[in-house]
Amino acid sequence: MSQVKKEEIHSAILASAFKLFKANGYSSTTVPMIARGAGISPPNVYSYFSSKLQILYAIHDPWMRARFAALDQELRGRRAPARRLRRIFEVLWREVPAHEEGFANNVIQAISTATPSDEYRTGLIGWMEQEIERMLLDALPAERHALVRGTDLPHMVVMAMDGYIMYRHTVPERTCGDATIDAFCRMLSGADPASR
């Protein structure tokens, strides 16, 4: 019986935090606010999570991994490498920044204000970079693999995504345009994406 209660409290904390992060942003949300929304005391929050940052990642990490899994599945259904390549950037530079009206901006706020006591971990970023490298290599001709393999290009793709997330937060009507995605695809593939 107590295990069910623990799962309910855990879920209540995450639901409260999601609602508050979405409405107020990470920086303006406090652990006491999250606790109040979950119907528990602030010290009780720390029985489940070591920090506000850990709460945010408990929300964001599974969503991001699910989005990558969905993208991977979608890419497998696309035969044309140019279409796979283009879709990677559409998802990472348009759809992720726009999701939940820019909820991912909370992660940017969190990282920019994190301290060593917040126990920030780079596991998700490292995993994303590996997945991006794999997807890019799958979408590019073999003679172009050197542009990706062993380079910081996957990290740069993540940093560009973070930039579009911040841009979406400050100028919501602007997104990564087709011309930018096409130019990046041409640079990587060495060909016009529309011609493949």
Among 21, 6, 17, 19, smallest CA distance to 104 is for 21
Q: Which residue has the tokens 């490298």?
A: 133
Q: Where are the domains of the chain?
A: 1-49, 52-195
CA distance 137 to 142: 8
Contact 128, 176 (CB under 8 A): no
Complete DSSP assignment for 158-183: HHHHHHHHHHHHHSTT----HHHHHH
Encoded tokens for 1: 């019986």
Kindly report the number of other CB atoms within 10 A of residue 12's CB atom.
Answer: 17
pLDDT in tens, 85-137: 999 999 999 999 988 766 888 888 888 887 777 777 778 899 999 999 999 99
Look at the alpha carbons of 174, 53, 18, 130 in this order and tell me if their dihedral is positive or negative: positive
- State the architecture of 1-49 in CATH terms: Orthogonal Bundle (1.10)
> pLDDT tens digits, residue range 153-176?
999 999 999 999 888 888 878 889
Dig out the tokens for 70 from the structure. 């969905």
Q: Is the pLDDT at 61 greater than 80, yes or no? A: yes
Does residue 1 surpass a pLDDT of 80? no
pLDDT at 196: 44
Q: Report in angstroms the alpha-carbon separations of 56 from 53, 106, 185, 196.
A: 5, 8, 32, 41
